[in-house]
A and B are shown apart, each in its own frame.
Chain A
Amino acid sequence: MGLTLMEGNEAIGWGAMAAGCSFFAGYPITPATTIYNTMLRLLPPRGGVCLQGEDEIASIGFCLGASMAGMKAMTATSGPGISLYSEQISFAIGSEIPIVIVDVQRLGPSTGSATKGADGDIQFLQWGNSGGLPVIVLAPVDVKDCYTLTMEAFNLAERFRCPVFVAANKEISMTRETFDLDALDLPEVVERRRSDGRRPFLPFGAAEGRQVPDFLPIGGRTLVRQTSSTHGPDGYITTDPAEIAMMQDRLDAKLQSSVSGFTHYDEYVVPGADTLVVAYGVTARAARTAVRHAEKSGRKASLLVLKTLWPVPEQLIREKAEPYTRVVMPEMNLGQYVRELQRVLPGKGIDFLGRMNGELIKPGQIQEVIQHG
């Protein structure tokens, strides 16, 4: 076993390479800049493309063009950049463009604090675009997750032809950490399904029994249409309510109905516990320590670490929370994902611990809530 020392952002870059990323574009912003630095080092010598956009809108625009031309694309920014991506994100959702978007969250609102961590974008990533359709958000806990969940993000983007967010946090992305690179449990690399050419190609026509249209690249021998307008299977504007509804339903269902197939999580079950701590991101690490310490005390707690945040893995949350009388959720914000728990677990007592001061939530603070509510 050898140990590698890497910061989370570097691991995101290496994970992207392992997933077959061939295109990156970004605009520098702390705390995401070192992802761009890493991709600039890794991509061009291997025949890939790494560009620095004139702004965030251009950066993600390059990615959308490159992705539709057949490349596996990624961009990375922080909260202020996600705001600027917003319209392009809705485009990628509605027009089924695979892309991985890393949000290295920093303390907001607005310019906020460039070098302070937070998980303040957790609702924003799902709802910060027009149209209200689902997206996929994965949340890494440590440097290992930065590597493997970035690979998963690419696989999901390819499989479902949609934007997939990696919701990192300054506290993971800019923290250096050792890990055993060769012991990682890596997923197999997935490529988007290409049309076999047996039927006339419809750029947005999902085959019978499938929810995702087959792909062909712009620039190939078969003509491909891409459009941000409301379109039918042929990629031309449609005004037919039935056709519009079908397309919207498919975009909704392709993720909602499949989330159990990509629900990533960890759990630490403590026998005799009456409380379940539910956490994600860097806070899950403090929660792990808190739960370990609580194990030696009167009031024990188990821990569920969510790594797939959106679509909300409702089934998993219900199942895992079922044996417990009480749920505790710590978050580096003033109460965002806890709303989902309240929605999914009506009637369950939920204690919330929120901090938004630029500091990590401490194990002792979580333990305090476990013990005393």
Chain B
Amino acid sequence: MDSLLNSSRPPVFCPGCSHDKVVHALDQALTEMGFSGEDVVIVTDIGCSGLFDTFFHSHAFHGLHGRALTYATGIKMAQPDLKVIVTMGDGGLGIGGAHLLSTCRRNIDITLLVLNNFNYGMTGGQCSSTTPRDAVVGSGFLNRLEKPMDICQVAGAAGAPWVGRASTYDDALVAELKAAIAFEGFSLLDIWGLCPGRYTRKNKLNPKGIAADLALLPDVSGYRKRNERMEYGRAYRQEAAALEAPSEPVRIEAGCRAPQRGRQEVVVLGSAGQRIITAGELICLAGATAGCHATQKNDYPITVMRGHSVSEVILSENEIEYTGIENPSAVIALAPEGVGRRSRMFSALSPEALVIRAEGIELPPTAARVVAVDFKAKKIKSPDWALASLVVLAHENRVLTMDMLKGALGFRFKKEVLEMAKAVVDKISA
């Protein structure tokens, strides 16, 4: 096979830089595996290792610092047959730490080559997440305070099923690269090397020293078995294939007549668990059965099963412009939390407005007509009060009719839930 190296752009690194060797080893691995440039995308990070893509005659994607794995993930999901190889330095690894952990957990078929030379070469030799504490680097004393991390142990703990370490100067480098590239899933090769431009000016390190340091590190081959599982893209497509296609949005044809013309504003005030939002939706759907336009705005805290729940609905035969509540024609008050949330509204209600109040709920003074309903006496439980209130509203021939409400229930609920809703309607109507 032909080399994948870009003949018009030979590698340019500082003399003696180990990146140069890795470029050639990667080319050898790819050609020996039978890949041509169209089969491969090289995604590079920022820094000296970020030059890799320009030296190869392949697809190339050079992006922002630390984010190479994010692009690689998008590309791989879009082009499952493409070989995706990412190169980054120990700098990119540190700044993109969250992406590293997530890519390990995902196990997407990407090969990450970390060109680890223990410092930020391009910006002047500052410390990185792998700089030894006793090294002399461009960050003054700061690296003495931070513990360097073992990339492979971190990646293995995060779920990477293929992690390995190699020295740039090891004869086995090409074989390791080939094994990493051949693996179907996320593979990470931590390649230790020398940065003569910056790091080895002040720190004694040579190929022998690298080999000796590597030999001291714990074995990581166990992660392969421990983290073995199906590749992310393959698993994704398998899961997706089993999903049912979503149904098209429902269209509601007008068959009923609304009891009033003009803008009708309804405010439902309750607490979490009272199905206030569902009641608001039912009013909207009921409106649609009469050809009315509807808007619904809800207000509830981030907590679930606690606190206020408020729904504001507007119905009108014309398109609704302003969606705020200005002059409600009906207010449904079912819990002190909701009433408290809109307490200032009550004094402004007009005498024509109707308030449906659950027995026992205190209201601020209001000019509106108040109808108290004893839901408990009718053996209706609190989560059904909102629905029952809509029946009361329909009996008052206000905003909606029973036909409209029944139509809405048919659109909103199916089978047993619909039967339960109808039972509530019967109870309150009795």
Is residue A46 within 8 Å, beta carbon to beta carbon, of the partner chain? yes
Q: Is B285 in contact with A64, judged by CB distance below 8 angstroms?
A: no
Is residue A159 within 8 Å, beta carbon to beta carbon, of the partner chain? no
Q: Is B322 in contact with A14, judged by CB distance below 8 angstroms?
A: no
Q: Is B240 in contact with A178, judged by CB distance below 8 angstroms?
A: no
Using A47-B240, A62-B77 as known contacts, say yes or no to A3 and B252 having CB atoms under 8 A apart.
yes
Closest chain A CB from B100 CB (angstroms):
10
A227 CA to B320 CA, complexed, in Å: 47
> Which among B43, B102, B280 is the interface contact of A54 at CB below 8 angstroms?
B102
Q: Interface digits, A204-223 against B, CB 8 Å rule (1 contact, 0 not)?
A: 00000000000001111111
Q: Interface digits, B65-100 against A, CB 8 Å rule (1 contact, 0 not)?
A: 001001111111111011000000000000000110
Using A2-B252, A4-B250, A286-B321 as known contacts, say yes or no to A58 and B70 having CB atoms under 8 A apart.
yes
A120 CA to B316 CA, complexed, in Å: 30
Q: Is B288 in contact with A178, judged by CB distance below 8 angstroms?
A: yes
Q: Is A88 in contact with B246, judged by CB distance below 8 angstroms?
A: no
Q: Is A4 in contact with B59, judged by CB distance below 8 angstroms?
A: no
Which secondary structure characterizes the binding site on chain B? mixed
A226 CA to B285 CA, complexed, in Å: 49
Given contacts A178-B292, A223-B59, A285-B321, 10 further A-B contacts (CB under 8 A): A23-B74, A45-B243, A65-B75, A69-B79, A114-B302, A175-B295, A219-B59, A219-B78, A226-B61, A362-B326
Q: Enumerate 8 A-B pairs (CB-CB under 8 Å) in ascending A order.
A: A44-B236, A61-B67, A62-B74, A66-B74, A115-B302, A177-B294, A223-B59, A225-B60
A131 CA to B323 CA, complexed, in Å: 39
A-B contact count (CB 8 A): 221
Is residue A191 within 8 Å, beta carbon to beta carbon, of the partner chain? no
Is residue A233 within 8 Å, beta carbon to beta carbon, of the partner chain? no
Is residue A342 within 8 Å, beta carbon to beta carbon, of the partner chain? no
Is residue B291 within 8 Å, beta carbon to beta carbon, of the partner chain? yes
A70 CA to B101 CA, complexed, in Å: 27
Q: Is A226 in contact with B78, judged by CB distance below 8 angstroms?
A: no
Most buried by B among A68, A71, A73, A217: A68
Question: How big is the A interface, by class?
Answer: 35 or more
Is residue B64 within 8 Å, beta carbon to beta carbon, of the partner chain? yes
Q: Is A5 in contact with B246, judged by CB distance below 8 angstroms?
A: no
Is residue B284 within 8 Å, beta carbon to beta carbon, of the partner chain? yes
Is residue A156 within 8 Å, beta carbon to beta carbon, of the partner chain? no
Closest chain A CB from B233 CB (angstroms):
9
Is residue B293 within 8 Å, beta carbon to beta carbon, of the partner chain? yes
Q: Is B63 in contact with A228, judged by CB distance below 8 angstroms?
A: yes
Q: Is A4 in contact with B251, judged by CB distance below 8 angstroms?
A: yes
Q: Is A49 in contact with B102, judged by CB distance below 8 angstroms?
A: no
Is residue B62 within 8 Å, beta carbon to beta carbon, of the partner chain? yes
Q: With a CB–CB cut-off of 8 A, which chain A residues contact B67?
A: 57-58, 61, 88
Is residue A288 within 8 Å, beta carbon to beta carbon, of the partner chain? yes
> Which among A42, A91, A220, A288 is the interface contact of B63 at CB below 8 angstroms?
A91
Q: With a CB–CB cut-off of 8 A, which chain A residues contact B72?
A: 65
Is residue A345 within 8 Å, beta carbon to beta carbon, of the partner chain? no
Q: With a CB–CB cut-off of 8 A, which chain B residues contact A64?
A: 63, 70-71, 74
A316 CA to B293 CA, complexed, in Å: 31
Chain A residues within 8 Å of B, Cβ to Cβ: 1-6, 14, 23, 25, 30, 41-42, 44-47, 49, 51, 53-55, 57-58, 60-71, 73, 87-88, 91, 114-115, 171, 174-178, 181-182, 217-229, 235-237, 282, 285-286, 288-289, 292, 359-360, 362-363
B314's nearest neighbour on chain A, judged by CB, is: A177
A171 CA to B323 CA, complexed, in Å: 9
Q: With a CB–CB cut-off of 8 A, which chain A residues contact B71?
A: 61-62, 64-65, 68
A236's nearest neighbour on chain B, judged by CB, is: B54
Closest chain A CB from B398 CB (angstroms):
20
Q: With a CB–CB cut-off of 8 A, which chain B residues contact A61?
A: 63-64, 67, 70-71, 73-74, 99
Closest chain B CB from A275 CB (angstroms):
18
A68 CA to B57 CA, complexed, in Å: 18
A114's nearest neighbour on chain B, judged by CB, is: B302
A89 CA to B77 CA, complexed, in Å: 21
Q: Is B75 in contact with A362, judged by CB distance below 8 angstroms?
A: no
A282 CA to B320 CA, complexed, in Å: 12
Using A54-B98, A66-B77, A223-B37 as known contacts, say yes or no to A3 and B251 having CB atoms under 8 A apart.
yes
Closest chain A CB from B247 CB (angstroms):
10
A321 CA to B73 CA, complexed, in Å: 48
Q: With a CB–CB cut-off of 8 A, which chain A residues contact B320?
A: 177, 285
Q: With a CB–CB cut-off of 8 A, which chain A residues contact B98?
A: 54-55, 58
Q: Is B73 in contact with A220, judged by CB distance below 8 angstroms?
A: no
Q: Is B63 in contact with A44, judged by CB distance below 8 angstroms?
A: no
Q: Is A228 in contact with B64, judged by CB distance below 8 angstroms?
A: yes
Closest chain A CB from B302 CB (angstroms):
7
Q: Is B251 in contact with A175, judged by CB distance below 8 angstroms?
A: no
Closest chain B CB from A332 CB (angstroms):
12
A63 CA to B72 CA, complexed, in Å: 10
Closest chain A CB from B18 CB (angstroms):
22
Q: With a CB–CB cut-off of 8 A, which chain A residues contact B239?
A: 44
Q: Is B38 in contact with A181, judged by CB distance below 8 angstroms?
A: no
A40 CA to B24 CA, complexed, in Å: 42
Is residue B244 within 8 Å, beta carbon to beta carbon, of the partner chain? yes
B238-258 with Cβ < 8 A to chain A: 239-240, 243-246, 249-254
Q: Is A174 in contact with B82, judged by CB distance below 8 angstroms?
A: no
Q: Is B99 in contact with A62, judged by CB distance below 8 angstroms?
A: no
Q: With a CB–CB cut-off of 8 A, which chain A residues contact B82?
A: 69, 218-219
Q: With a CB–CB cut-off of 8 A, which chain A residues contact B79?
A: 69-70, 217-219
